[in-house]
Amino acid sequence: MKKIAIIGATGSIGRQAIDVIERYPDAFCVTMISAHSDKDGLISLANRLKVPTVCYTGESSLDITDFNYPCTLLCGENALVDGAESADYDIFLNAVVGLPALRPTMVAIKKGARIALSNKEMLVSAGEYVMAVARKLKSEIIPVDSEHSAIFQCLSAGKREDVDKLIITSSGGAFRDIPLAMLDDLSPERALNHPNWNMGKKITIDCATMVNKGFEVIEASRLFDIDIQSIETVIHRESIVHSMVRFKDGAVVAQLSEPDMRLPIQYAFTYPERLPSPVKPLTVPCDLSFRAVDFERYPCFKIMLEAGALGGLYPAAMLAADSVLVPAYLSGQIKYSQMPIVMSEVLASFSLKGMYDIDDVLRINAEVEKYTHRVVKNLCRI
Ligand code: NDP
Ligand code: MG
């Protein structure tokens, strides 16, 4: 029986993970869960699954009498770190959005648990640091993000030294077919209409700008220890090929499936074994198309690649800038075409090369957020 801790249990990935786990009550059990705002969701999950450690990081508090069984309840800012330290688990699923996942996941790495990693922000902002610690401690980090899970699976077809290139696929987001001349002033409603996946607003805009793909290229570079220049991105409308690896003999190995996150989540739990999953079997042959990325259409993606190649805290700075720019675009404060302008400005305004630790990441994140707010405010005045 594998014991699984899930931080971010009330979110989209967290709930899909629980769906996977509940199908195999003899193979998995949940020993820790967390939520940030969804109190009722947390209480009902805990009472249904009888989770021994329950963490709540939101502002108000929970009461132990909310639970119909004996459990350890941790509330407040340090609940995730305290939970990660005290709970009993073999696998730690990081399904929290943003940087609050950084410290608790480092605790889980140091405890020797397998990390099932869905959260993107951790490897984007602190990938070099996190992977250096993980490699030193020989800790297992199994990706959940579909592209990285695909690459992880493809890599088992050969030796690491024989890898020539990683090929990451992208749906191209909601703006992939809009004429370039119309892109300048397109509404958030259009960007929110993602062609293949149904996700939250922030990530859907990040798909339209391909900032999300920039994050994923940086994540892949850190996770698989490969240069940004050796990672190619291709537009693949159908989201069936989740990514590929080209080996030095020219063989390209791909992983295909219907787009359903429960497959990579389950694989991160069962690896190296496989179990039947609820994912609809893929009917082969199906129509598949691939085309090159047009950087003119996706200027933010190009900036993300530059930040990734610069390394240090540049990706953390881009993450912080993006977290301000997306809400500013959604609320109509800035135009779509202003997002890359601000991102370039952030990239040019900070000097962020060199070694860093988690405290540096959090400091830069706060500084760049503040700076970006100021730039957005100035743009609004023009
Ligand atoms: P959701 O927004 O659906 O869920 C986020 C979870 O994190 C919720 O449980 C939420 O709690 C919790 N949370 C939010 N803010 C905080 C905070 N400040 N402190 C502690 N916990 C917090 O996100 P997703 O499940 O979609 O995504 C999770 C991560 O996985 C992200 O990094 C995302 O980029 C990545 N990812 C997601 C994919 C997807 O298909 N959804 C695909 C690939 C990667 P509450 O609900 O109580 O507020
Ligand atoms: Mg992805």
Q: Is 106 helix (H, G, I), strand (E, B) or coil?
A: helix
Distance CA 314, CA 327 (A): 21
Sequential DSSP letters for 229-269: GGEEEEE-TT--EEEEEEETTS-EEEEE--S-THHHHHHHH
Q: What are the pLDDT digits (tens) for 98-145?
A: 999 999 999 999 999 999 999 999 999 999 999 999 999 999 999 999
Ligand 1 atom with least separation from CA of 145: 43
* Residue from 6, 10, 13 whose mutation best tests the ligand 1 pocket (most atoms within 8 A of CB): 13
Residue 370 lies in a domain: no
Domain extent, residue 46, equals 2-143
β-sheet bridge partners, residue 53? 32, 72
Residue 26 lies in a domain: yes
Q: Is 161 helix (H, G, I), strand (E, B) or coil?
A: helix
The average pLDDT across 258-285 equals: 94
* Residue from 7, 96, 207 whose mutation best tests the ligand 1 pocket (most atoms within 8 A of CB): 96
10 pocket-lining for ligand 1 (C-beta < 6 Å): yes
Residue 303 lies in a domain: no
pTM for the full predicted model: 0.96
Per cent of the chain over pLDDT 90 is 86
Per cent of the chain over pLDDT 70 is 98
Residue 261 lies in a domain: no
Output the CA 146–ligand 2 centroid distance in Å. Answer: 5
147 pocket-lining for ligand 1 (C-beta < 6 Å): no
H/E element, 167: strand 163-170
- Considering only CA atoms, give the Rg of the chain: 21
Distance CA 153, CA 9 (A): 25
pLDDT for the residue 196? 65
76 pocket-lining for ligand 1 (C-beta < 6 Å): no
Buried b (16+ CB within 10 A) or exposed e, 159-193: eeeebeebbbbbbbbbbbeeeeeebeebebeebbe
Residue 44 lies in a domain: yes
Cβ(118)–Cβ(98) below 8 Å: no
Residue 272 lies in a domain: no
Number of domains in the chain: 1
Residue 51 lies in a domain: yes
Output the CA 351–ligand 1 centroid distance in Å. Answer: 30
The sheet with strand 28-35 has its strands ordered as 72-75, 53-56, 28-35, 2-7, 91-94, 114-117, 141-143
* CATH of residue 9: 3.40.50.720
Residue 56 lies in a domain: yes
Q: What are the pLDDT digits (tens) for 77-109?
A: 999 999 999 999 999 999 999 999 999 999 999
Distance CA 261, CA 239 (A): 12
Confidence of residue 17 (pLDDT cuts 50, 70, 90): very high
Ramachandran region, residue 88 (left: φ > 0; alpha: ψ -120 to 50; beta: rest)? beta
pLDDT for the residue 255? 98
